[in-house]
Structure 1
Amino acid sequence: MEAARRALATEGVYLLTAPDVRARLDARAAGGRWAAFASHWDRLAPDPYAAARGGRRLRRCGQFAVTPATGAIRPLDHVPFVQPDRSNPLYVDVDRDFEPLTPDFVADPVLRALLRLLGRMATALDDRTEWKANVHPFRVLASADGDGQPTPEGRHRDGVTLVSSLAVARHNATGGESAVHTPDGDRLLAVTLTQPGTLLLGDDRATLHEVSPVRPLDPGRPAVRDVLVTTLVPA
């Protein structure tokens, strides 16, 4: 993990493999904890803001306080999601009120372990004692007559310190390549998050990111891309 922290701090991006991540989350087996964690994506709610722009996306959101030194995780009150200034041109000055995480999701031990891991990684970028984590589970859907758009805003920053994407599931899907760039446009990393548990980390202050459209492999069935996006800012 120290090598990962150093690389994140110096290069602005790091990819943790699925076996490493799932071992650290105590979710190695195909069933058990990981299956229970992934099942939360079957209870996401429609994203009305994406639907208004023609997108097909399900999501929820939640906020937590994370203390890396002690590993303490504390849920915060549910409030509308406000995109930081100058980060998402699609939703300038728009407070988006998404459905909250379910109580089972909030209490999930895999989520709690992930937040502790991300809190430790974030201290490589800024040595804060407490972080606020915004947790966004996404399910992007695509069909033969409509691509799925994980990042309809295009290449962007989230206006945070640490940004992360955790692969959860992927069915009948092609595309969905995650790319991280320097502010000058040089590509630092491009990867398709296909294996559940793969975790992409980025220093959001120093990089920009985007995800290519998702399309179905079999046009007769929908494509599904399940990802957990978690961002951290100093509390």
Structure 2
Amino acid sequence: MKHSTEGPRTASNTSPPGGGAPTGGAGDVARAAGRALAAEGVRLVPAAAVRACLGADEHAWRRFSAHWDSLSTDDYASARGTRRLRRYGRFSVTPATGRIVLLPQESFVQPENSNPLYLGVERTFDPLTDSFVADPVLRALLRLLGEVATALDDPATWNAKVHPFRVVASADAHGLPTPEGRHRDGVTLVSSLLVGRSNVTGGESSVFDPDGRPLLTTTLDEPGTLLLGDDRRTLHGVSPVRAVDGGRPAHRDVLVVTFAPG
């Protein structure tokens, strides 16, 4: 990635900030990502490194991405004219032991100083399916993110909120990944994992400092690419996605996971 004094860094998905793809095991990747995140507030981890950490070969990734075909309609987004599918779940993650525990389902409420569109609104979403909760790729991702998060803070346990999203575009309507615009989530670590794109263009992710100065701009286009942000000192947003061929289904699938002290 090239640094510029005239504007945001524009990242490709083949090279993270600060050099080439990290090498080594999941611990090495997590530590490298954590150091860069603590220093810069944002980190892009290439798909090859992420999928190697998650043990996600082609078969495992197909199984994992198939969960997005079982998402439910987001009625809150629909009420604002956006077609979005999602589910929601919470986990307790203990990096020191690798322990991951699914927590009881509850309404999702945006904390203060976060998403202005739904601030204080109790939103109820369908829970994660049992097969998704048990998927080894999800479990490996939560462990990886738990290690990354410890570079920003060091609680005994983390509360991880898991949001699989599918944003749908059509011939007559763009898909809006972030209808609220530029925002923060009111957590410590925010992450966005690209799961897949089908028949869409757009969906450019941007990260900003608190004064609105752009830090990084990239289009996540390779499945497995992971964008990380220190949510306490950055804001983020994603541009609309558009259907390339209006006669075919068009969508962008991502997994957003946030970590806050448990």
Alignment correspondent of 2:239:
212
Alignment correspondent of 1:68:
95
* Cα shift at 1:144: 1.5
Alignment correspondent of 1:221:
248
Percent identical pairs in the alignment equals 67
Does structure 1 retain, via aligned residues, the 8 Å contact 2:209–2:235? Answer: yes
Q: Is 1:49 aligned with 2:84?
A: no
Aligned to 2:117, the other structure's residue is in SS state helix
* Cα shift at 1:3: 2.4
Deviations 1:1-52 (A, max 9, x none): 232211100100001100000000000x22x211111000000000000011
Which has the larger strand fraction? 1
* Cα shift at 1:92: 2.3
Alignment correspondent of 1:37:
64
Counterpart residue identity of residue 201, structure 2: T
Q: Counterparts in 2 of 1:137-216, with a 5 A limit? A: 137-216=164-243
Instruction: Work out which of the residue numbers 65, 83, 99 in structure 1 matches 2:110.
Output: 83
Counterpart residue identity of residue 138, structure 1: F
CA distance in 2, matches of 1:145, 1:40: 27
Deviations 1:123-159 (A, max 9, x none): 0000122100000000000111111000000000000
* Cα shift at 1:206: 0.5
CA distance in 1, matches of 2:115, 2:93: 25
Alignment correspondent of 2:32:
3
Alignment correspondent of 1:108:
135
Does structure 1 retain, via aligned residues, the 8 Å contact 2:109–2:119? Answer: no
Alignment correspondent of 1:58:
85
Instruction: Work out which of the residue numbers 42, 45, 52 in structure 2 matches 1:16.
Output: 45
CA distance in 2, matches of 1:223, 1:138: 14
Q: Is 1:26 aligned with 2:52?
A: no
CA distance in 1, matches of 2:37, 2:183: 18
Deviations 1:159-190 (A, max 9, x none): 00000000001000000000000111111111
Alignment correspondent of 2:20:
none
CA distance in 1, matches of 2:65, 2:183: 27
Counterpart residue identity of residue 22, structure 1: R
* Cα shift at 1:116: 0.2
Give ranges in structure 2 of 5+ residues lacking alignment. Answer: 1-28
Deviations 1:180-207 (A, max 9, x none): 0011111111111110100000000010
Alignment correspondent of 2:13:
none
Aligned to 1:90, the other structure's residue is in SS state coil
* Cα shift at 1:85: 1.3
Counterpart residue identity of residue 17, structure 1: P
Q: Is 1:99 aligned with 2:126?
A: yes
Does structure 1 retain, via aligned residues, the 8 Å contact 2:207–2:235? Answer: yes
Does structure 1 retain, via aligned residues, the 8 Å contact 2:111–2:120? Answer: no
Q: Compute the RMSD of aligned alpha carbons.
A: 0.8
CA distance in 2, matches of 1:92, 1:124: 28
* Cα shift at 1:222: 3.0
The TM-score, its normalising length taken from structure 1, stands at 0.97
CA distance in 1, matches of 2:71, 2:243: 21
Counterpart residue identity of residue 152, structure 2: L
Number of residue pairs aligned between Structure 1 and Structure 2: 233
CA distance in 2, matches of 1:92, 1:14: 27
